[in-house]
A = this chain, B = another copy of it.
């Protein structure tokens, strides 16, 4: 019977992973407040108390569930605009659940808001460094905001006009706008 491991460490690892996976899914679907530990536990087929025992609190569970690798540095080769579009291009397929969970909570959960703001600020700074003219930071911020808006409208809100558009077509249509922002 390889399927059901009886090793202690292995069982623990798997339970923890099942919990984290369930948490990501439910946080992504409902956001922080509407997600209950009981619901996560049920989805992970585990007792609610176990979730507490492993993660200490709902907040801790959230933090660990949405922990995401930080934004990779700008690829010096590609143009910033193409870099951004590429990220969208990839992200126009389903976003990682951790990202969705983070975004879904960012307007109603102060900690998520601060985390997202921090990451976007960083991305703005990074992007601004790759632009030239004087108000690079403002233009970078507007580029990032545009990406944010399109992602929200497409992935979280499901705007009808965007729902059936292919990622490539979106990226392609968006390109001139981003370029206009990049060039000033």
Contact = CB atoms under 8 A, between A and B. Distances in A.
Interface of A: 30-31, 33-34, 103-108, 113, 116-117, 120-121, 124, 128, 135, 137-142, 144-154, 156-162, 165, 169-170, 173-174, 176-181
What are the nearest 9 A-B pairs in CB distance?
A: A149-B149, A141-B161, A31-B108, A145-B153, A176-B180, A177-B177, A33-B33, A148-B149, A145-B149
Contacts of A180: 176-177, 179-180
A24 to B, nearest CB: 16
A143 B156 CA distance: 17
A121 B176 contact: no
A160 B116 CA distance: 12
Contact of A117 (B107, B144, B157, B176): B157
B165 A176 contact: no
Number of copies of this protein chain within its complex: 2
B162 A153 contact: no
A177 to B, nearest CB: 4
Contact of A121 (B33, B34, B113, B160): B160
Nearest to A148: B149
B178 A161 contact: no
Contact of A145 (B128, B139, B140, B152): B152
A153 B140 CA distance: 12
A117 B149 contact: no
Contacts of A158: 117
Given A117-B157, A138-B170, 7 more contacts: A120-B153, A135-B173, A140-B161, A141-B165, A142-B174, A145-B146, A148-B149
B170 A181 contact: no
